[in-house]
Chain A
């Protein structure tokens, strides 16, 4: 970890996590048995092996469900037109079928952004078409890949307001738009919409800059939305990007995470569920727990630095298997008020590393940012 990042982390914890402050004690992290995604098709149940890491997939939330219910999460499908890439289509089809097959059924689906790869009408409409398989109510938040071709025009026509809130069986749910407030990097350079989208769609690009943010207007909206909510009752916030600083060069953060935490600080039981990172992630900042979700499209390696120490890493994937390291998530609010998050990772019995060699950082690396997108004629 660099000195600068270490300094930022220390500052973050000193501000938000003074002695004795953690997510509410009623949010117990307990162990449970993983159920592999292929169980849907009759395969095995897999035991959880690690004892020394907090287990991230089970959260007990007090005062939660009035009645038990489940909901599902799918994100980061990155659909190209069907004529170009059928693998991504096949994986959305599979996820949709599995969500629809949940028994008892989920109460609703959250789609966590990046439905399209390049924001094209054809890609977004393909996503809508594929997700029609899922008959339960669906709530969408945008990803940057959905937005920057036409600045959210088509996305808005399809899905409406990008931020929203609703209460369901004792839990307040909030969907945030963390993508649309990126700084203007295109006007001065006379970029076409396709060029703008191309830079935005490159995770390790250097042109789009720190685009991920919540924005003052939306922070005010969130504060107002939470104003009438009992501070001891559970809140679940969905966002495309994580609401803390993990690795800014890949926008694995929101740039105004400090302000986000200022708004959330009075609430004792807040869980953030986010996409964008295409990997298993877990973190605690102040009273907020954050859980990163898998993509259906492809997995990303962990960032060169900044992986939260509370994260038990996911297993190093086999690049030869397009179903490895990807999937969707099942969230189950049970009768005993537990909110359980279960990763459905296709192609794997073990979601987490089982030995040092299973970690993608087992081969130590020192890497640096790309250069070609900041050289003529791209500058």
Chain B
């Protein structure tokens, strides 16, 4: 009885956490994330992330082969400009400030919106699919490069 009360109390306090927990039990598989994390799992987890960072780094620096591999070679830039030419080390990209109202776009924008704006305007390219691997790789590199920056969502 006491146990049930505690659970109800927790669910009232933390409806989101409770919802996720219930969804996880219903959706299964139940054993997927219940074993203690092993070093080899962490290694793979990190490697998957760093591979996306590597791809994004190359795209960001105008690597044509990577752009071709990810199907965006004709899109990212039509002027020879690469992202890194204005943003060395991804500086001044400010991923920590998104989402925010972006003056250039005149709308409430995400980092992906801004990446596409840069592709379309300064680079005079063609917007890429926001859900594409290329976009996720660019996002991975930009955020990785800004590791340590403090979140400041909405900052001008």
Q: Which of A5-13, A103-111, A167-175, A357-365 contacts B (4 or more CB under 8 A)?
A: A357-365
**Interface on A for B, CB 8 Å cutoff?**
80, 84-85, 87, 117, 202-204, 249-250, 298-301, 303-304, 318-320, 322, 357, 360, 362-373, 375
Q: Which of B13-21, B23-31, B32-40, B78-86 contacts A (4 or more CB under 8 A)?
A: B78-86
CA distance A250 to B96 in the complex (A): 23
Q: Which of B1-9, B54-62, B67-75, B127-135 contacts A (4 or more CB under 8 A)?
A: B54-62
A-B contact pairs, 12 of them (CB 8 A): A84-B79, A85-B80, A117-B80, A203-B88, A298-B86, A322-B122, A363-B94, A367-B90, A370-B89, A370-B145, A372-B53, A373-B57
CA distance A87 to B79 in the complex (A): 8
Residue B12 is within 8 A (CB to CB) of chain A in the complex: no
| Interface majority SS (helix, strand, loop, mixed), chain B | loop
- One of A304, A319, A360 near B104 (C-beta < 8 A): A319
CA distance A365 to B58 in the complex (A): 21
Assess the A362–B146 pair: CB atoms within 8 A.
Answer: no
Q: How many A-B residue pairs have CB under 8 A?
A: 97
* New contact pairs (5) apart from A298-B85, A363-B94, A364-B152, CB-CB < 8 Å: A204-B89, A299-B86, A300-B86, A304-B89, A319-B121
The residues of A that contact B81 with a CB separation of less than 8 Å are 85, 298
- Contact status of A373 and B61, CB under 8 A, knowing A366-B147, A367-B90: yes
Residue B156 is within 8 A (CB to CB) of chain A in the complex: yes
Assess the B84–A204 pair: CB atoms within 8 A.
Answer: yes
Assess the A319–B118 pair: CB atoms within 8 A.
Answer: yes
The residues of A that contact B146 with a CB separation of less than 8 Å are 365-367
**Interface on B for A, CB 8 Å cutoff?**
50, 53-54, 57-58, 61, 63, 79-81, 84-92, 94, 96-97, 104, 118, 121-122, 145-150, 152, 155-156
Assess the A320–B121 pair: CB atoms within 8 A.
Answer: yes
The residues of A that contact B90 with a CB separation of less than 8 Å are 367
- Contact status of A363 and B57, CB under 8 A, knowing A202-B84, A319-B118: no
The residues of B that contact A365 with a CB separation of less than 8 Å are 91-92, 94, 96, 146, 149
The residues of B that contact A300 with a CB separation of less than 8 Å are 86, 88
The residues of B that contact A318 with a CB separation of less than 8 Å are 104
**Which residue on A lies nearest to B88, using beta carbons?**
A204
CB distance from A127 to the nearest CB of B (A): 15
CA distance A250 to B63 in the complex (A): 19
Assess the B84–A364 pair: CB atoms within 8 A.
Answer: no
CA distance A299 to B91 in the complex (A): 13
**Which residue on B lies nearest to A370, using beta carbons?**
B57
CB distance from B62 to the nearest CB of A (A): 9
CA distance A337 to B87 in the complex (A): 40
The residues of A that contact B96 with a CB separation of less than 8 Å are 363, 365
Assess the B79–A367 pair: CB atoms within 8 A.
Answer: no
The residues of A that contact B85 with a CB separation of less than 8 Å are 203, 298
CA distance A223 to B118 in the complex (A): 47
The residues of A that contact B94 with a CB separation of less than 8 Å are 363, 365
CB-based closest 6 A-B pairs: A366-B148, A372-B57, A204-B88, A301-B92, A80-B80, A203-B88
CA distance A367 to B93 in the complex (A): 10
CA distance A299 to B61 in the complex (A): 17
Assess the B122–A320 pair: CB atoms within 8 A.
Answer: yes
CA distance A250 to B84 in the complex (A): 12
- One of A203, A319, A357, A375 near B84 (C-beta < 8 A): A203
CA distance A320 to B102 in the complex (A): 12
The residues of A that contact B53 with a CB separation of less than 8 Å are 371-372
